[in-house]
Amino acid sequence: MNVLIAEDERMTRKLLEHMLLDFGYTAVSTCDGKEAWEALQQEEAPRLAVLDWDMPKINGVELCRKLKDRKEAPYIYIILLTSRNEKEDVVKGLESGADDFITKPFEKNELESRLKVGIRILEYESKVIIETKKRLDLERELKDKEMEVRLRQVDKMVTMGTMAAGVAHDVNNPLSVAIGDVHLIKRDMPDLVKFINHFSSVSLPPNELKEIEKLKADLDILYITESIEKKLSRCENAMDRIKRIVQGLKDFSRSDEGEVINTNITNEIKNSLEMIPQRYKRGIEIKTELSPLPEIPCYGGQLGQVFMNINVNALQAMNGEGVLEIQASSDNEYVFIKICDSGPGIPEEKLKQIFNQFYTTKPKGEGTGLGLSICSTIIQKHGGEITVVNNADKGVTFTIKLSKEGVRDKKY
């Protein structure tokens, strides 16, 4: 595995080179952002890069933005290296397009573990390519309804594979926060215990009271006790984020082809958004207006697949800049879901074709033309309607209409 290093400080660069050799990697070394940018434009460029934040010509953050703005270029997993450790810097680095963040000085085993995470994510993407090829082979064998059901499930699994590369990163971030805060609590607790033990072992004469107050001030007990609650709250929020991601994967991947169940459509919409990795949503404002909806008897996993496909298509069309709006409402007979993006829109002459099987507007090799075709099939078999129109200003709006009666005694 080739790993690109961009570091202007010679000693740090040499240290990184030696570490990579010890890990069994090949180092491609550069000393400024311009050299790194040129190296990453090559046909056989490394897919894993360690970039220093502060470099001449092009700094690490600017280089992250340039790499993420490239169209139709291979995904590069970026680890940003810096001596900055303020929370705002971490957020700025990740929002620029970095996938991970290491603060100087760093430990050898820390660098190795972060590189392994990047390699796993790149391997996930390779598996997605393989699964996509399998799906293309399956398309040619599509002959009857039984094969159509199988194809729909394969499409779901491939979508899950695409999500997995980002989900691995999404899970890693909140988990790192939780682990870091637990370590801080463990570090502070001995001081707190020391203070409590000392306090409980004295009979509190005046001189001991003074000593206790001095010890309390020296150890900054007030800060420790106040910060513990905040750290635990952050741990709880981070773990809750992991729980929602995992639950979303479980809900989306369930195979419910043969059983109609009462389904909360609002939850299916929320789950589809929760599962999409942050790097797909970066730079996009997502607005939801979800009125309370009645549960309807349907194949919930299939509808979740519809919402996922349309949302991912919209995010890809906007390419990191724009607004995604999702509205859900109902009247006496129907449930309506509208998904509106601010992307480039679809040429009018192609609007009537986008639900056709194997038709795609994506570049060759990036789309199979099955996603929207499968969405249309699923909605029609639920007795509903799906339409798409270009917006007056920019972007498109998909509208899904479902009967409140749902699916009744139908076998797919």
Do 159 and 178 reside in the same domain of the chain?
A: yes
Token reading at 282 = 């970066």
Give φ, ψ of 276 to 5 degrees: -70, 125
φ, ψ of residue 196 to 5 degrees: the values are: -65, -45
Of the candidates 286, 359, 355, which has an alpha carbon nearest to the alpha carbon of residue 326?
286
Strand partners, 296: 263
Residue whose entry in the numeric block shows the structure tokens 């809900």: 251
Residue 284 lies in a domain: yes
- Residue for token pair 């570490």: 19
This prediction's pTM: 0.46
Q: Which of 225, 250, 275 is the last residue of a domain?
A: 250
259 and 382 part of one domain: yes
The verdict on whether omega for the bond into residue 190 sits within 30 degrees of 0, i.e. cis, is: no
pLDDT tens, residue order, the chain (412 aa) = 899 999 888 888 899 999 999 899 988 988 888 998 999 888 888 989 999 988 888 998 899 888 888 877 788 899 988 888 777 877 888 888 888 888 888 888 888 888 888 888 888 878 877 877 777 777 666 655 656 666 666 666 666 655 655 565 566 667 777 777 777 777 877 787 777 777 656 666 777 777 777 877 787 777 777 777 777 777 777 777 676 666 665 555 554 545 788 888 998 898 888 777 777 888 899 999 998 888 899 887 788 888 988 998 899 889 889 999 999 999 999 999 999 999 998 888 888 778 775 545 554 434 434 568 888 888 988 889 999 999 998 899 999 999 998 886 544 4
- What is the rounded distance in angstroms from the CA atom of residue 305 to the CA atom of residue 309? 6
Same domain, yes or no: 281 and 385: yes
Rounded alpha-carbon distances, angstroms, from residue 165 to 45, 130, 215, 391: 20, 14, 50, 32
The CATH number of the domain where 87 resides is what? 3.40.50.2300
Asked if residue 333 is part of any domain, the answer here is: yes
* Residue 39 and residue 176 in one domain: no
Instruction: CATH number of the domain at 333, please.
Output: 3.30.565.10
Evaluate whether 397 touches 391 at the Cβ level (below 8 Å): yes
Question: What amino acid occupies position 33?
Answer: G
Residue 115 in any domain: the answer is yes
Q: Are residues 221 and 85 in the same domain?
A: no
Domain total of the chain: 3
Question: Does residue 135 belong to any structural domain of this protein?
Answer: no
Question: Do 240 and 265 fall into the same domain?
Answer: no
Cα end-to-end span (Å), the chain: 46
Q: Domain check: are 265 and 232 in the same one? A: no
Give the position of tokens 């899970």.
Answer: 171
Q: Is residue 358 part of a domain?
A: yes
For 102, the domain range is 2-126
136 lies in a domain? no
DSSP string for 62-130: HHHHHHHH-SS----EEEEEES---HHHHHHHHHTT-SEEEESS--HHHHHHHHHHHHHHHHHHHHHHH
Task: Assess whether 269 and 285 both reside in one domain.
Answer: yes
Same domain, 63 and 164: no
